[in-house]
Amino acid sequence: MIIKEAAGHTYAKQNTTKKMQLAPWMLLLIVGLALAQRDACPDEETLRPCTCDGTGINCMHVQTTAQLEASFTATGQNEHEGLWIQKTPLRHINSGVFGMFKFAEVYIEMNANLTSFVLECLGESQSALRVLSLFSNAIDRFSFEKVAEYPELRTLNLARNMLTSIPPRAFRAEQLETLALSHNPITSVGRHAFSELPGLKKLLLQNTRLSTLGPYSFAWRVHSVDLTILLEKSRISDIHESAFEGTGPITLNLARNNLTSLAPDVFLPLAQSMINNMRNRMDNELAVLFTGGNPLSCRGCDYLWLVRNKRNPVLRQILRDFRCSDGSRLYELGLPMIRCNVDGRNRIN
C-alpha cells in the first residue's frame, strides 16, 4: 500500500513537473501569436480610430473622411482580407482615401449619410478585390463602367441605395457572379445593361420602381446556365418584346408586379429559351417563371398561347404559380374564358 502511495505520489510529482516544463512553450506560443498579429497589422497609433485584428481593418468609429484618410497613412502591413466601414456619419469616400492599402473584401454598409462613393478609391485592390458591398447607404451615383477594372470581383452589392437608373451597357465584368440592385428607386434599365456579364448567376432587382422593361434591357449574348433574375415586388406593367432577347434564366421572378397579361411576343420565346437552357444543364433542375400576385385578367388573345400549351408538362412546371386574378389556374384556361378567336399559332416545341 505504501509502495502504491509512494508510486502514486512520485507519478503525480513527475506529472506536475511535466506540466511545469510545458508552460514556457505555451508562453512562447502565445507571445509568438501576439507578435504575428502585430506584424499582420499596420501601426496601431496612426490607424486609430480604425482597428486591426489580423484578419482585416474595422473603421466603424470614424467620423469624417479626413479622419479616414489619415488612418490609412499608417505604416506596416497594407494587404488585408477585409475592410469594414459600417454605421458611420461619413458623407463621401473619395479617390485616394485608402492610400496604398489592398483588400480582398470590402464592406461599406449602413452609412445613412453616404451619398458619394468613388470606386477608384479601391484602386490598389484592383487585382485582389472579390467582394464589394455598398449595402444600405444613400449612394445616388455609381461608376458602373469602372467595375471592369476589377477582374477578380465576384460579388457587387448595391442594394438599398438611392440609384434611379441603370445606364445602357452598364456592366462589363466576365467573372461577376452576384449583382444586387434591389430596394433602389430605379425607374429605368438601359439597353444591354447586363449583356456583358456572361458569368452572372444572380441578378437581384426586387422592390424597385420599374414600370417598364424596355428594349434589350435584360438581353444577353451568352449567360450562365445558373442565371437567376429576381424582379418581384416592383411596378412592372409593360415588357418590350425584346426585353429578354437571348435570355433563358433558370429562374425568373416577376411575382407581385402589375402585369395584366403574358404577351406571346414576350413570354413565348422567353419560355422556349428557359426550356432550352434547362436542357443544357447537367442536373435535373427545372426552370421556373414566377408570376403570382399579378392582376392577370386571363381575357384576350394574349392568352391564346397559354391555352394551346396548357397541357405541356414542362410549361406547367415553369408556370407553376400561375393564377388569374379570379384564381383560375393554367390548366383551367380555355377559349370561352379568354374570349379570343383561334388562328392556329403560338405553340411551344
Q: C-alpha grid cell for residue 312?
A: 405541356
Q: C-alpha grid cell for residue 132?
A: 464589394
Distance CA 207, CA 181 (A): 9
pLDDT of residue 284: 85
What residue type is 215 in one-letter code?
P
pLDDT of residue 6: 38
pLDDT of residue 9: 42
On the CB side of 181, how many CA atoms lie within 13 Å of its CA?
Answer: 28
The residue assigned the cell 432550352 is 276
Q: Where are the domains of the chain?
A: 41-162, 166-343
- Which residues in the chain come in under a pLDDT of 70? 1-39, 343-349
Q: Tell me how crowded residue 7 is: count the other CB atoms within 10 A of its CB.
A: 10
CA 336 centroid distance within chain: 44
pLDDT of residue 197: 98
Q: What angle do CA 213, 223, 232 make, to 5 degrees?
A: 35
Which pLDDT tens digit goes with each residue over 117-132? 999 999 999 999 999 9
Cα R_g (the chain), whole angstroms: 29
Distance CA 89, CA 83 (A): 17
Q: C-alpha grid cell for residue 318?
A: 415553369
Range list of β-strands (E), the chain: 51-52, 56-58, 79-86, 92-93, 102-109, 116-117, 131-133, 155-157, 165-166, 178-180, 188-189, 202-204, 212-213, 228-230, 238-239, 251-253, 288-290
Distance CA 229, CA 288 (A): 11
pLDDT of residue 342: 73
pLDDT of residue 40: 83
**In the CATH scheme, what is the homologous superfamily, with its name and number, of domain 166-343?**
Ribonuclease Inhibitor (3.80.10.10)
pLDDT of residue 4: 38
Report which DSSP code applies to 55: S
Distance CA 68, CA 90 (A): 9
Give this prediction's pTM: 0.87
Q: Tell me how crowded residue 225 is: count the other CB atoms within 10 A of its CB.
A: 16
DSSP string, 273-324: HHHHHHHTSSS-PPPEEE-TTS-----SGGGHHHHHHTT-HHHHHHTTT---
Sign of CA dihedral 240, 241, 247, 249: positive
The residue assigned the cell 462589363 is 172
Q: Tell me how crowded residue 146 is: count the other CB atoms within 10 A of its CB.
A: 15
CB 211 within 8 Å of CB 258? yes
Distance CA 332, CA 298 (A): 10
Which pLDDT tens digit goes with each residue over 181-221? 999 999 999 999 999 999 999 999 999 999 999 999 999 99
Q: Tell me how crowded residue 39 is: count the other CB atoms within 10 A of its CB.
A: 10
